[in-house]
Amino acid sequence: MIDVVIPVKDLTKAKQRLQSVLTTNERAILVLAMLRDLLTTLNKCALGNIWLVAHDDAVLDLGSEFGTKNIRESVSKGYNHGVSKGLNAIEPHRSVIVLPADLPLAQPQDIWRFIRAGIGNGPRFAIVPDRQNRGTNGLYMSSPDLIKPNFGESSFLNYKKASAKIGISATVVSIDTMAIDVDGAEDLLRVVRSGLCNVTVDFLASSSFGQELQNLQKWEAA
């Protein structure tokens, strides 16, 4: 079976690059909406355990609705620390994918396309890059201790180098819906205009960002 690790940052510090278009409370609600959509997708994939690593009760309570294995952080110590805690909970013989919580457009067929690209004989490692081919929006590892977590600036290149050092050629899987994580206002636009009907899209439509967008569209149509 293939397990999943989803680390979620402290909600009070969530998505700070969106503070010009969303309030602090709206940003927290956005994270929860995206997580709900991702967990809904993962439940349809019939995978192994989903390990949710978080500090906030609201995040862990949401995970419990979907039957996640919750790992509470007494203090949030950063994304890579959260990933490590999740990986350390997994039995060594199990494969794992690591996903960020902000992939509201990912569908079951996208998750399985990613996994199938990783599955094979011997140690295996696969990466889904972000739109700029700088960050990492998905990791597949044939065992949870294969490579040390190193998310952050230029993580896509860093992971390719790390896999090469241990003699593994990383499989790069470009998936449009998984390449879009939500960091800036332009990402919100991509989600709103995706054509999907999900919790994230519904929330954004009712948010201050959605209201501004509607006002702009009315002005352009006038």
Query: pLDDT tens-digit profile of 52-85?
Result: 999 999 999 999 999 999 999 988 788 999 999 9
In 68-200, beta strands by DSSP E? 69-72, 95-98, 125-129, 136-141, 171-172
> What pLDDT was estimated at residue 1?
85
**Residue 37 clears pLDDT 60, i.e. is over it:** yes
Q: Which amino acid is at 64?
A: S
**Domain range spanning residue 166?**
2-221
Question: Rounded distance, CA 101 to CA 51, Å?
Answer: 12
Q: What average pLDDT is seen over the chain?
A: 92
More confident residue, 218 or 181: 181
The domain total for the chain is 1
Query: pLDDT tens-digit profile of 167-178?
Result: 999 999 999 999
Reported as a pLDDT band with limits 50, 70 and 90, residue 87 is very high
> What pLDDT was estimated at residue 84?
97
Average pLDDT on 43-49 reads 97
> What pLDDT was estimated at residue 220?
43
Average pLDDT on 42-59 reads 97
CATH number at residue 108: 3.90.550.10
Query: pLDDT tens-digit profile of 185-219?
Result: 899 999 999 989 999 999 998 898 887 776 655 44
Residue 25's φ and ψ, nearest 5 degrees, are -65, -40
More confident residue, 222 or 30: 30
**Residue 25 clears pLDDT 80, i.e. is over it:** yes
Residue 101's φ and ψ, nearest 5 degrees, are -75, -15
Query: pLDDT tens-digit profile of 105-135?
Result: 999 999 999 999 999 888 999 999 999 999 9
Reported as a pLDDT band with limits 50, 70 and 90, residue 148 is very high
CA distances from 94 to 12, 69, 110 (A): 33, 15, 21
Question: Rounded distance, CA 30 to CA 219, Å?
Answer: 26
